């Protein structure tokens, strides 16, 4: 910026010569316009440098809906985190004692949920990662843990988000951060199961990441 300001001063000085002396330098107005255009181009380039990934696990579709909106608002790339053995509707019956999800909750040793893949194409190129998941019993749905533990978030800014009836995100995001101990983890955001597009957009704008 100081170089550009110096350039403007020099150019202005050149055009202040008496009119009897011809000069091929642009006028002060032209110089200011040119510098302004260069500055605007630099700002535009800086704001478009960050590459954004929206990685999410969604059991019933609520988290997917929020993830889709984030990707749309930020021009980010979506990556769905999928268990190798997908959860069925019966598996997700939280009111059935024998359902898969209840059994996993009551028996933590059964929560190990391998994923179809934890490898994101071109992972190293992403600067910002939005990480989404539902809350199960005030805990981050366990399939998300495999993804976090298997990836190196160094040099990435991480924005966790979750969907839940009422439980807050804070402790769950802290627990996920401890699984990797890499990356710059920011304060997360909880969305209700009925969150609107406007709710998501408001968050993205507050982060200054709208496209």
pLDDT at 19 over 90: no
| 47-86 residue pLDDT tens | 458 999 999 999 999 999 999 999 999 999 999 999 999 9
Residues linked to residue 190 through DSSP beta bridges, in sequence order: 162
Task: Quickly count: other Cβ atoms within 10 Å of residue 110's Cβ.
Answer: 12
Residue count (the chain): 211
| 153-164 residue pLDDT tens | 999 999 999 999
pLDDT at residue 48, as a whole number: 53
Q: 204-209: long-range contacts at Cβ-Cβ below 8 A with a sequence spacing of 24 or more?
A: 204/70, 204/73, 204/74, 207/159, 209/50, 209/52, 209/73, 209/74, 209/128
**What is d(CA 104, CA 84) in angstroms, rounded to the nearest whole number?**
16
pLDDT at 140 over 50: yes
Where are the strands (E) in 119-199, listed by range? 128-136, 139-140, 157-163, 184-185, 189-191
**Predicted confidence band of residue 38 (pLDDT cuts 50, 70, 90):** very low
**What is d(CA 15, CA 103) in angstroms, rounded to the nearest whole number?**
81
CA 136 to the chain's CA centroid: 22
Exposure letters 72-97 (e unless 16+ CB within 10 A, then b): bbbebbebebebeeebeeebbeeeee
114: tokens are: 């391998």
- pTM higher than the cut 0.75: yes
Terminal alpha carbon distance of the chain: 25
**What is d(CA 167, CA 191) in angstroms, rounded to the nearest whole number?**
10
């Amino acid at each position: 910026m100081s170089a550009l300001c110096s350039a403007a001063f020099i150019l202005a000085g050149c055009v202040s010569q008496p009119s009897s002396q011809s000069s091929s330098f642009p006028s002060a107005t032209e110089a200011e316009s040119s510098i302004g255009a260069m500055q605007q181009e630099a700002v535009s380039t800086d704001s478009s440098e960050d590459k954004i990934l929206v990685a999410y696990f969604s059991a019933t579709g609520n988290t997917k809906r929020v993830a889709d909106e984030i990707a749309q608002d930020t021009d980010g790339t979506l990556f769905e985190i999928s268990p190798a053995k997908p959860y069925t509707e019966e598996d997700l019956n939280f009111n059935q004692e024998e359902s898969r999800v209840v059994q996993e909750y009551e028996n933590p040793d059964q929560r190990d949920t391998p994923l179809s893949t934890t490898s994101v194409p071109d992972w190293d190129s992403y600067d910002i990662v939005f990480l989404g998941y539902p809350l199960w019993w005030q805990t981050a749905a366990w399939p998300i843990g495999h993804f976090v533990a298997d990836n190196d978030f160094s040099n990435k800014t991480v924005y966790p988000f979750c969907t839940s009836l009422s439980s807050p995100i804070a402790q769950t995001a802290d627990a996920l951060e401890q699984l990797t101990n890499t990356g710059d983890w920011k304060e997360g955001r909880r969305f209700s199961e009925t969150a609107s597009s406007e709710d998501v957009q408001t968050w993205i704008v507050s982060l200054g990441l709208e496209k």
